[in-house]
Chain A
């Protein structure tokens, strides 16, 4: 799976990360990648970044689809759409390629997965009607990550698209979605699950007395009824786990595939940078390089004045308009220095990934013009 990337010819990668090419710029990334996963902590602009990357690919003549998991419809907002659904919605615009958008609906994605793997309609119906299933497939936390990966898999396999850009779920930790396929597999592989799905209850006793103790204990805590629902669910699920397991393995492989590029999105605040560094560490453990770093909401600086000198000037002229003007300039110089300090270490850590800085914009982005303005910063030559 290595050695097929055009970027390698540019000689930009070397050493242990040669298996996966790191693009020379964000523009190059958008031209060459097949899957882009935007990750980072909440509020750093992942959704908008994902939209801009897909839009730029369409401008480059590619067929791009962007998928968001955002429950607050921010992608629809950013694209100026009233609403987008769980299937790709084409967005018309003056670009040679194609742009589509998907907003992940966790429940209907899960339902369609069940329908796909069920042996027949009757089995699918039994599962869809199960109360336990309805609980886990709905809004409860955890399933969103599974389904985001499922949707990613579905879209990348679709010949209608050259590029899939994914905006990752707003999980407690930015990394949870990476674990989602493995969690599902672990869940299916668990011996208790295997005992529960054994053909008869009799087998349970014979096979594993310890498991029975566990079952009783768990049942005591969560209530027998929940447990009966769970058993009914697992029994209804029988025969489908192989399909699920295969899919989970395929998704994991996809995340590990050199065609998949991880774009780290951050803002220059201490906590967001800490989260981004944590994420970069995790990718590094898997020998996955960061393909690009996008830093949003960077405060503008005005001149290169030293904040302390400016602050001293402000104090000298305190009480006058000039004092106020200096105080303001000193504020921005101080913020600029602080942000540059936070970012320096991060950029170094993800090197040689290209770094794009998007300034704190004067107003909110909710249309294509706004996205175009951001694109101007993202794809500006370094």
Chain B
């Protein structure tokens, strides 16, 4: 599939998955891959404390949009910002005509209390802000990114988070929060506006949870699912099945004492894990008929620019191998 078409299938891509599966890494890799396809992605960080910026060798992000990587050589710029509930709420209050009061509302703790009492409010305010960005994109506003990538909260919370609109629609009958929830729900259920990319590791529990989450998101939120990303696959290495002594003989080399044992133990471990991983990837494919993007485990680097390029390579290779979806298949 053509990468540009792939990356612009939905204006907003929500990257979700269980804790520890590498959502932040995958979000960054998708952004890098999109930028290499000439697009300008905007990364939105919701938790405000991740290694996103450091992957690009930059200072931690805040509510103001910054450029993580510049444009050039056919690459689009990568922009990023955080979207914290408190900042978004303040902005929302100002937009709702409560500018004069907003500071007092916050400093007096009233906002805090209301948000504690109705926790979905923070979520809906954040999603409302996403919707605002998405609307501007749809309208072709100046300075709009080509796609927004959201580094979502961990799985259990992601469902709650994305369900907040529906929950509030049940609870709130009138007022600005209700219209906000209506708009957010509309965005989440419109495939051209938003889709969710679920991330997993090639292991039993995360795969089970991804499948559960996928069905919950479709049933309870009605959001479209993009490809699933399998992160952390051990790349294959030639010679893993070879006997070290024989391999050394064939290469005309001699081994130190004990070295054959080390080579063999390491090879056996990798063989075993590769086999387990393949099993899980196949199981995932059987349980969930979605295209898969497979990202390698980075033995030699972690969250740095070099590693990121390797992951972006894998994303682009995966996208290239993904068949084109026609209109009928694009709908869930």
Contact = CB atoms under 8 A, between A and B. Distances in A.
Contacts of A218: 105, 110-111, 114
Interface in A185-224: 186-187, 190, 192-193, 213-214, 217-218, 220-224
B117 A230 contact: yes
Interface in A220-239: 220-226, 229-230
A6 B9 CA distance: 63
B247 A325 contact: yes
Instruction: Give the 9 A-B residue pairs with the shortest CB-CB distance, closest first.
Output: A42-B19, A43-B20, A324-B239, A223-B175, A321-B239, A321-B242, A303-B262, A331-B299, A364-B204
A142 B116 contact: yes
A226 B168 CA distance: 10
A124 to B, nearest CB: 19
A142 B266 CA distance: 45
Interface in B203-256: 203-206, 208-209, 212, 237-240, 242, 244, 246-248, 250-251, 253
Interface string A361-377: 01110100000000000
Interface residues on A, range: 35 or more
Contacts of B203: 364
A326 B96 CA distance: 63
Contacts of A183: 116
Given A71-B156, A322-B239, A325-B244, A143 B209 contact: no
Contacts, number: 231
A131 B270 CA distance: 54
Interface string A110-141: 00000000000000000000011001101111
A39 interface: no
A41 B119 contact: no
A213 to B, nearest CB: 7
B171 interface: yes
Interface residues on B, range: 35 or more
Interface of A: 41-44, 70-72, 74, 77, 131-132, 135-136, 138-143, 170-173, 183, 186-187, 190, 192-193, 213-214, 217-218, 220-226, 229-230, 267, 269-272, 274, 278, 300, 302-303, 305, 317, 320-329, 331-332, 334-335, 338, 362-364, 366
Interface in B110-159: 110-114, 116-123, 153-157
A362 B273 contact: yes
Interface in B234-289: 237-240, 242, 244, 246-248, 250-251, 253, 258-259, 262-263, 265-267, 269-270, 272-273, 276
Contacts of B154: 42-43, 170, 172
B10 interface: no
Contacts of A44: 19-20
B276 A362 contact: yes
A140 B160 contact: yes
A142 B160 CA distance: 11
12 contacts: A43-B19, A140-B120, A141-B119, A142-B119, A172-B153, A173-B47, A187-B113, A221-B93, A222-B177, A223-B176, A322-B242, A331-B299
A245 to B, nearest CB: 15
A192 B259 CA distance: 72
